[in-house]
Amino acid sequence: MTDRLTTEQLAVRLGVSSRQIQRLATLGLPSIPVGARARRYDPVACEEWLQANRELLCPSTQRPPAAGKCLSASAASAFTDECRRARLRVMPSV
């Protein structure tokens, strides 16, 4: 049987903060409650859980292809920019 680690010890072993370990515990990281607030963690079980739940913890960074800009939106934006430029040229500086 492996040693059970405290939140701080597991955080050091995994290279994260103790608060992150607490967040992971709410997501299902295997732990054993000890007393009213403390928990102990089996490092092997925790590493297996992290590997099994990698997609939950680190969702894919691939984004869906962006929709192309609507031509009318581009035209409206260009018109607005032209109006602003014209107003700046007409208005005297103070």
Q: CA-to-CA distance for 47 and 12, rounded, in angstroms? A: 13
pLDDT one-digit tens code per residue, 12-41? 998 889 999 998 999 899 999 998 889 999
> What is the rounded average pLDDT for all residues in the chain?
77
Q: CA-to-CA distance for 26 and 87, rounded, in angstroms? A: 57
Q: In the chain, where are the structural domains located?
A: 7-57
Q: Is the pLDDT of residue 62 over 70?
A: no
If you write DSSP's letter for every residue of the chain in order, what string do you get? -PPPB-HHHHHHHHTS-HHHHHHHHHHT---EEETTTEEEB-HHHHHHHHHHTHHHHS---PPPPPPPPPHHHHHHHHHHHHHHHHHHHHSPP-
